[in-house]
Structure 1
């Protein structure tokens, strides 16, 4: 029942979005809809600008507490930024340089790059190593630090972020994506309905099973399955998590409270082969939907 609801919503959104104007794009631009475009950051200045956008969302809006140097610089920055690729959405109608036009960002980390450096960011909360060990023949990529400025939290912006993720995954031959997604606040009980819905309906199992590190794990099984109203639960899900589910994602079996970022985190797991055919067809098997 829950997946049918998600699919009906997705069909309606795609009908609306298909009316968007699609224009030819430059060679390194992954997609464009109207005045918005998505591509990877081209310079240190653009990465710095993306970190400033993250600071505005995570600190000024969500009350995250970053290390003192990051707070002083007003940048959300950590050691992974130096090795990740930074996906951007830019509003080209804004005046100024490209770094003044960044309205959304995602941080992308491929498995080969992670293993050559400090591992995956999510490993600080979830048992990623066990997941990777069960899939030695697959190539994983981590999605993180997703944020969009308030005035741009629209279907078009989200579609372009996913256009970029999809194009990037295809280019690098990725087999699966994963990453933390968050509920606001540090009290999982306040999200009992949504967390219980995820636990009873879309928990990753068998070869894709993953859990939080034992010292950090918090239960998501906060309500019995018969007490969970799927429609109400879907309405209670953060938009990012709802979007992942529409694509065909699963979630880890336990959550983590991140006091620094003032969030309750769940791990999203999305095998490329599990992405809904509807979305593969929509974006294009070659990621060409908004890139031509």
Structure 2
């Protein structure tokens, strides 16, 4: 499950980008910097714990998610996947204190080899992705999830750094495709009939890339015929994060899933690296060097 991030347009930018020393670019886990903001992987358990608290503040306090009692008591969004995932962070270095006090955004990243050696992919709890992966035996998948940013940091800079981190991570680990659950707010799919129908008709994954919601969780996305859809209104009704995935060239699985615990309606994002729009690759750099000086 992922939450919304403020929409942005990479063509409209006015940022000061700092250069990283060559030694850092080669050896460090820092993927990029814009002003005081920095994106990198979590380095220790304290930083992961702080990222889980950021997730709690967004998912529970802001969006109304209902987590297990222990998670609610600890004020942490936490599950078994956290133990095996890498945790991408955005930090504000202008905040005084320890690094864990500076975390303002996060993404959870899971590579296929790690997933298969442990609990599988989180997405498999809602969508049938086994066939999708089996049809691409030479491709390496990674899962993006648990995306959130504190309200005061939902800006172009933060979002650009999150995508810089995702892209740099994919390049570093030679990933071929990204998957993950993206969310509409609320547990009534019909409230999003326009947007869900638009995804179904215009961005539905086909052929070797097709995947569907698990039968026992399946909710119809095809609630309106294509000729009844106003594309501009459909895009306006789309959560910003899902719209961002669309701009990158993502496809979406068939059927949505209601996640009562997180108070969301989820769709499956399928994004082959080869499908990412050239203008985004040109922007972030083929080797993800855009914000590394």
Task: Name the TM tier (shorter chain).
Answer: over 0.9
In structure 2, the residue matched to 1:97 is: 98
In structure 1, the partner of 2:3 is none
Shift of 1:155: 1.2
Cα drift, residue 154 of structure 1:
1.0
1:58-73 residue pairs with structure 2 within 5 A? Answer: 58-73=59-74
Q: Distance in 1 between matches of 2:240 and 2:153?
A: 13
Cα displacement string for residues 27-51 of structure 1 (whole angstroms, at most 9, x for unaligned residues): 3210111111100000100000000
SS in 2 for 1:257: strand
Residue number in structure 2 paired with 1:45: 46
CA shift at 1:16, angstroms? 2.2
Alpha-carbon distance between aligned partners in 2 of 1:163 and 1:217, rounded to the nearest angstrom: 33
Moved over 6 A (4+): none
Give the length in aligned residue pairs.
Answer: 281
Partner residue in 2 for 1:77 = 78
Cα deviation code 1:81-139 (max 9, x no counterpart): 00000000011111111111111000000000000001000100000111111011100
Q: Within 2, Cα distance between the matches of 1:44 and 1:265?
A: 29
Partners of 2:214 and 2:245 lie apart in 1 by 22
Shift of 1:179: 0.1
Could you say what secondary structure the match of 1:244 adopts?
A: helix
1:14 aligns with 2:10: yes
Q: Which residue of 2 aligns with 1:5?
A: none
- 1:115 equivalent to 2:116? Answer yes
CA distance in 2, matches of 1:202, 1:62: 27
| Cα offset, 1:156, TM superposition | 1.0
Any gaps of 5 or more consecutive residues in structure 1?
A: 1-8
SS of 1:254's partner is coil
TM-superposed CA distance for 1:251, in Å, is 0.4
**What's 1:265 paired with?**
266
Alpha-carbon distance between aligned partners in 2 of 1:14 and 1:201, rounded to the nearest angstrom:
23
Aligned to 2:148: 147
C-alpha distance in structure 2 between counterparts of 1:258 and 1:16, whole Å: 35
Aligned-partner Cα distance in 2 for 1:96–1:251: 41
1:252 aligns with 2:247: no
Question: Where do 1:1-292 residues align within 5 Å?
Answer: 13-17=9-13, 19-25=14-20, 26=24, 27-292=28-293
- Other-structure match for 1:6: none
Q: Superposition RMSD on alpha carbons, in Å?
A: 1.0
> 3-state DSSP class of the match of 1:177?
strand
Q: Which has the higher contact order (CA 8 A, sep 6+)?
A: 2
TM-score by length of 2: 0.94
**SS in structure 1 at match of 2:256:** strand
The structural deviation recorded for 1:15 is: 3.0
Distance (whole Å) between structure 2 residues aligned to residue 80 and residue 172 of structure 1 = 19
- Distance of 2:234 and 2:156 partners within structure 1: 21
